[in-house]
Amino acid sequence: MMFCPKCKSILMPKKVGVKSVYQCSCGYTSEVQGAVLKESGKKAESITVIDKDVQVMPVVEEKCKKCGHGKAYHWEVQTRSADEPATRFYKCVKCACTWRAYK
């Protein structure tokens, strides 16, 4: 591993034509002495983008305050100090209305 003498960043190996050099983001370049650079043949994997809202929370029997539907997603968050109970949140499966319950 080599470092740039100007800005002290890591020099990255790069092929320029048939010549191998170390190059820094500040613009400094240095010729590679006695080393052979090998480029990997791996291509970047494609990333699949999911544009759909996927819920992985448990569904419980809870009546929605807005639409009256009987099922809601459920999760808990510690919103206050540790010696007090956690706040329960619900999100309606049908209309996505979110509310909380303090118990």
Q: Please identify every residue annotated as catalytic.
A: 83-84
CB 33 within 8 A of CB 21: no
CB 62 within 8 A of CB 87: no
- Kind of pairing, strands 59-61 and 29-31? unpaired
Task: Compute the radius of gyration of the chain from its Cα atoms.
Answer: 28
Tokens, residue 74 = 């459920």
Tokens, residue 21 = 């050099």
Length of the chain in terms of residues written: 103
